[in-house]
Structure 1
């Protein structure tokens, strides 16, 4: 790391110095932002460092010393200051945890690199090597960022990441401009923010449980309430969800409607949770089983039929071909979930409706073509039906 030409960082360890720095950042066209955190045994990421690079250099904010994040929240939401991250999903959580807001407008260089034709899900080191021809080591990725003082190697690692992120961004934007894809990045970053906001809405978390589609509506309601309880407990205890109860155990409780502690054990609930929360879990089942049918959720979609699966295969092939022409990963053009949603929207007779994830720039690049493919399939079915009816006559 010592051979890298990186600036000496300015440390921020007080609310006053953070406020002063934020006034300066409000005048910058863009900021490179990175965070270091620990999340091995907790539900929430625990911030250990926030790094900022601007036109004057690099700044390290010690979140263990800051109490008032209001000025930084203003920076994160200023509409004329682009906040640049790389693979930002967990960084967004850290920002929201510290400040209560999400950074907007946002630019993610991992997405930018993919849209520029540099490859799929690229790590930061690889992208820096590709664009800036600089080798960054990875040794400090799993450091203890909550321990003080930080080691010199940790500080250099943290500064290098945000310093080269700042240099990377304009080069990527220049590449995207030549390809006419700047709006692709801005649209997808807006969708990232929307997705991060929706992730806080726990009411639909039960849909993520594997095999939830096999449950009947009343069982789904049990699962929904169990998942909500687990979410509240995981956040309250600040532990990962599966440290409370894992998905498989919750599914078993819902499917077999556990009424006794012995049944909780058979479902896969740990003895410690049964001792502490067994009555609560059983009460949830009892209360939901007594609920009116009007409260039952709609049964989840079953897997596609074999014929619908063939239509899905046609769409995947079309996406793969178009993605190859564009020089981007197929999953970035259209994910399987979006294609399934498109098939389900009108199978087997149409009409078909593009899901939100295939709107915007994707509609012109692939969405309208996918609709055409499905409409062609419905015409084939209609012609076969007419031919069949005529043969009977």
Structure 2
């Protein structure tokens, strides 16, 4: 039953808009009160699957500013106005309801929106972009191409850069936002059928879990400070300073709600870690250090330099692995070709079979005889059985 048929009449008056598609007219419902939100969340909580999307702005802030939340049961598109809602209890419960699958397309940024707005990451969820990599072998397929393939409907993306914080939203904005969710459940059902036929649904669900895992890693500066470009070139003492400054930069950006690069850019952190400026004059000459950054953060940076200077060598950060030597290139190419053939045989995208970050430790293990640590979730499960173990068997003696 459509929600529109049994919702209190007052919720629909003056708040329902129709949009035309190649298939049918879809009611768009604007939700701007806590009571309306609670009513719709109760409806969605009774369903096994819902489609979800968000619109947000993040131009000059660290955190995304939520402009709109879209949820669909496959019949109606419910647009929730975060600028008017004050009680998020019911939506938070819905997003963590284990009995309701939340369907997204390319969801990594949506996870951050919900984490910021509600303090939770949606679970369980399914990503149709991930699913399509196993259904048709197409990697990172856009939503527009996905809907064209499944529904033969062309969706314009002319409102992509809209100001989602301005009120009232235009009819075009509402239609655009609604179209981002109304077809997802149909796509989901089709994908699930195909994945079950291919016995790959569990594979997709593993990769979906990996999205949440990667989001948590990306959000933790303790886990990603070493990703600064050319960090491997630094000695242990410099790496220690880089780590200290990277974590401080992340905390500062969060506290001030500004982009990390506005606090200090990565290459400036690297230069400070490399050359250890111990005076304001020396710091001011650091690559791309602006006068404003020096004025706001210079004293703290110099204190960090002094602190690391006082550490003993056994307190330094461990050295990072150097990039693989050029001689390993042929082995890497051979493994990529092997993975490509495996992916073709399985009917999945090569990138779904093995990404570059997953390839590097395997090549290091085979070429440099380093220990291979298979960390979940991206290096275990189906991928270990179907891709990694066959690689090791094929190239162990190469």
Same fold, TM-score > 0.5, yes or no: yes
Deviation by residue 1:155-211 (Cα, 9 ceiling, x = unmatched): 011111111122221112122222221111111101111111222221133211000
Question: For the Cα contact (< 8 Å) 2:27–2:75, is it kept in 1?
Answer: no
Q: Distance in 2 between matches of 1:370 and 1:15?
A: 54
* Residue 35 (structure 1) aligns with: 54
Q: Distance in 2 between matches of 1:295 and 1:88?
A: 39
Question: For the Cα contact (< 8 Å) 1:346–1:353, is it kept in 2?
Answer: no
Aligned length: 377
Residue 204 of structure 2, aligned match among 149, 163, 185: 185
The answer to whether structure 1 residue 304 and structure 2 residue 324 are counterparts is: yes
Alignment of 1:127-276 (within 5 A): 127-267=146-286, 268-276=288-296
* Residue 297 (structure 2) aligns with: 277
Alpha-carbon distance change, 263 to 324 in structure 1, aligned in 2, over 3 angstroms: farther
Matched residue of 2:67: which SS? Answer: strand
* Residue 12 (structure 2) aligns with: none
Alpha-carbon distance change, 280 to 299 in structure 1, aligned in 2, over 3 angstroms: same
Question: For the Cα contact (< 8 Å) 2:75–2:182, is it kept in 1?
Answer: no
Deviation by residue 1:218-248 (Cα, 9 ceiling, x = unmatched): 1001001111111112112211111111111
* Residue 364 (structure 1) aligns with: 385
Root-mean-square deviation (Å):
1.8
* Residue 97 (structure 1) aligns with: 116
State the shift of 1:21 in Å: 1.9
Residue 21 of structure 1, aligned match among 18, 40, 55: 40
Q: Distance in 1 between matches of 2:193 and 2:215?
A: 27
Q: Distance in 1 between matches of 2:330 and 2:396?
A: 14
Residue 317 of structure 1, aligned match among 329, 337, 342: 337
Q: Distance in 2 between matches of 1:198 and 1:243?
A: 22
Matched residue of 1:162: which SS? Answer: coil
Question: For the Cα contact (< 8 Å) 2:138–2:348, is it kept in 1?
Answer: yes
Q: Distance in 2 between matches of 1:293 and 1:212?
A: 18
Matched residue of 1:163: which SS? Answer: coil
Q: Distance in 2 between matches of 1:295 and 1:345?
A: 28
Alpha-carbon distance change, 352 to 238 in structure 1, aligned in 2, over 3 angstroms: closer
| Stretches (4+) displaced over 6 A | none
Q: Distance in 1 between matches of 2:115 and 2:363?
A: 36
Deviation by residue 1:238-290 (Cα, 9 ceiling, x = unmatched): 11111111111110000000112232232221111111221111111111221
Gaps of 5+ in 2: 1-17
Q: Distance in 1 between matches of 2:107 and 2:293?
A: 34
Question: For the Cα contact (< 8 Å) 2:45–2:100, is it kept in 1?
Answer: yes
Gaps of 5+ in 1: 378-393
State the shift of 1:118 in Å: 4.9
The answer to whether structure 1 residue 344 and structure 2 residue 364 are counterparts is: yes
**TM-score after normalising by structure 2:** 0.90
State the shift of 1:351 in Å: 6.6
